[in-house]
Amino acid sequence: MFHVSRFTFHSVYVTFHFNMKCPFCGTDDTQVIDSRVNDEGDSIRRRRKCVACDKRFTTYETADLHLPQVVKQNGTREEFKRDKLRLSFTRALHKRPVPTEYVDKALDHITQKILARAEREVPARDLGEMVMHELKMMDKVAYIRFASVYRSFSDVDDFNDVIRDLD
């Protein structure tokens, strides 16, 4: 249908469309008549017109983001899963007075940090530390809950050490 070129910048793949072919006659001589950003601001709608057959069509452009692989402690790798991070926040924040919007912002912040690293892999330990940092700013009780599981607390002294660090 059309030619695609990909350029990599900080682990983000940006797709540029060159010589957009007309879906009706197949010619690659088309013109952009109108471009508009959607309401969410994450895609562009373009109205195009074929110079050869004079027909019009619409294309949509969106960012094609590729998040790095997560390297677990045992060395296995898996895809980055935002829902898995959300579940970590949900468990730590269970019955805590923290709005969902705060969790969404924390997830966005962590995702942006990961993308900014420009690496193909991110250690699971780093993700855990990022979650702890966000929880520490969001809710101290949730932070302690998460830390107790994440750092495998074995006795009361471990809790006391984390509580002391909060002060």
Residues 6+ apart with CB under 8 A from 9: none
pLDDT in the model for residue 25: 95
The whole-angstrom separation of Cα 4 and Cα 94 is 46
Read off the pLDDT of residues 124-159 as tens digits, 9 standing for 90 and up: 999 999 999 999 999 999 999 998 988 888 888 888
Phi-psi region of 44 (alpha: psi -120 to 50; beta: other; left: phi over 0): beta
pLDDT value of residue 18: 59
Q: Is 106 exposed, middle or buried (0-12, 13-18, 19+ CB in 10 A)?
A: buried
Q: What whole-number distance in Å separates Cα of residue 38 and Cα of residue 60? A: 10
Domain residue spans in the chain? Answer: 3-64, 68-166
Report pLDDT digits (tens) over 19-42. 789 999 999 999 999 999 988 787
> pTM value?
0.61
